[in-house]
Structure 1
């Protein structure tokens, strides 16, 4: 999940590239200091969904294991 965060400026249309959370924080702070020097850093943090399979992949694997164990216990 290293490339799962993107920060959007609350003052203009600027967006950071996808990256780690700490990289995005540095990039958006740099943007604010250059483009909006007398404004507090704000905006929105976007989190990319499905970039690593996440929990849904684990749940599918767990379901398959459960069904296999259920079938094995019936024999």
Structure 2
């Protein structure tokens, strides 16, 4: 199973695979010993972003679209019956 951590070498473009934090540090130490002997180890640690559960934005957009359709349908149906009343009100006002 893939981990959530990888190390990038500070001296070259090497990076470990996604491993646990311990495994990644061990692999990085081995890399330094083999490829950069006598150089003080330097590296950057990267943590994988957590996956977001659920659909999030898609659900919100779908609900808003559905609400818009319902409101437009209701306004259209009620608007055709109430238009004469609105015109009569405007003429009086």
- Runs of 4+ that moved beyond 4 A: none
Q: Does 1:26 align with 2:10?
A: no
Give the drift of 1:50: 1.1
Larger helix share, 1 or 2 = 2
Q: Tell me how far apart the structure 2 counterparts of residues 40 and 27 of structure 1 sit (CA, whole Å).
A: 16
Instruction: Answer with 1 or 2: which has the greater Rg.
Output: 2
* Within-5 A mapping of 1:1-75: 3-51=3-51, 53=52
Q: Structure 1 length as normaliser, TM-score?
A: 0.64
Which structure 2 residue ranges, 5 or more long, are not aligned? 54-93
Matched pairs, number: 53
SS in 1 for 2:29: helix
Per chain length, whose mean CA-contact separation is higher, i.e. which structure has more relative contact order (CA < 8 Å, sep 6+)? 1
RMSD over equivalenced CA pairs, Å = 1.7
